[in-house]
Amino acid sequence: MAKTILITGASSGIGAGMAREFAQKGYNLAICARRLERLETLKQELESKYGIKVIAKTLDVTHYDQVFEVFKAFKAEFSTIDRIIVNAGIGNGRRIGQGHFDINKVTVETNFISALAQAEAAVEIFREQKFGHLVMISSMSAIRGMPKHLTAYGASKAGVAALAEGIRAELINTSIKVSTIFPGYIRTEINEGAKKLPFEVDVETGSRLLVSAIEKQPVKAYVPQWPWLPLGLAMKILPLKLVNKLS
C-alpha cells in the first residue's frame, strides 16, 4: 500500500515542487494551501501522470483551529499519514526600526506560530498512530542573525529549527522521526523579483534535492549539501561582518 505525505504550502514554490517529486516516487499526497484552484490543478496533473491518490484542501495556516481540522480530516480520509512536511510560510520581511513592525509581525507569526500549530497537529496524529516522520522546513538564514529584510524572517526560521529539535528530544525513544531541513537560496515565486542570490538554484533542482534529503530521514540536512553544509558550519563561527555577505 502506498504511503501518504501531507505537505502544507503546496500550491507553489518548493511545496508544489516537492509534491511533484514525491508523486513521481509513488506516494499518495495530502496537499493544502490557501489557493485551492492551484491545488486542484496540481492534483489533476499528478493523478493523471502518476496514478496516485491526491486530496487537496484549503488551509490558511494562520487560522490555527483550521490547521487541526484539516490535518484530522486528511487523517480520516487516508487512515494513516506517514510523513508531514511543515512547509507553509512567507518570505516577507523588512529592515528593523524603519516602521514596518506589522509586516515583520505577520512574517514571524506565519513562519513560527503557524509552524507550532502544524507541529502540534502532526505530532497528535503520529502519537495516535505510534509512528510518523515530521519534517520542519527551516532556512540557512536561521543559522545566524541576518541583516536587512532577512532579520525577522531568519529569526522565525531559527525558532522553527529550535522547535523541531525540542520535539525530536521529546520523541527520541519513539518510532516518530523528526527532521530539520535548512534550504539555501532557491528561486521561487516568493523571490523571483529579487537580485540573484549567492549559490541559488532553481525551484526544480531545489525541490529534487529537498526530497532526496527528506527521504533519508536525517536529523538535519542542508540543501543543497554543497556548498551549504560547509558554509553552515562556517557561519556559526565566522565574524558577523563576513556572514552578512551571504544576505
The domain limits of the chain are 4-246
Question: Could you tell me if 125 and 132 are in contact, meaning their C-beta atoms sit under 8 angstroms apart?
Answer: yes
pLDDT of residue 197: 76
Q: Give the pLDDT confidence score for residue 1 in this predicted structure.
A: 76
pLDDT beneath 50: ranges in the chain: none
Query: Among the options 27, 50, 64, 153, which is catalytic?
Result: 153
Which one of 3.30.2350.10, 1.10.10.10, 3.40.50.720, 3.40.50.2300 gives the CATH number of domain 4-246? 3.40.50.720
User: Locate cell 535548512: which residue?
Assistant: 182
Known catalytic residue at 153: yes
- Strands of the sheet containing 176-183, edge to edge, are 54-58, 28-33, 4-8, 83-86, 132-137, 176-183, 220-223
User: Measured between alpha carbons, how far is 33 from 36 in angstroms, rounded to an integer?
Assistant: 7
Q: What are 171's strand-pairing partners?
A: none
pLDDT attached to residue 129: 97
pLDDT at res. 191 = 54
Q: What is the pLDDT of residue 234?
A: 93
pLDDT of 193 reads 60
Residue 135 confidence (pLDDT): 98
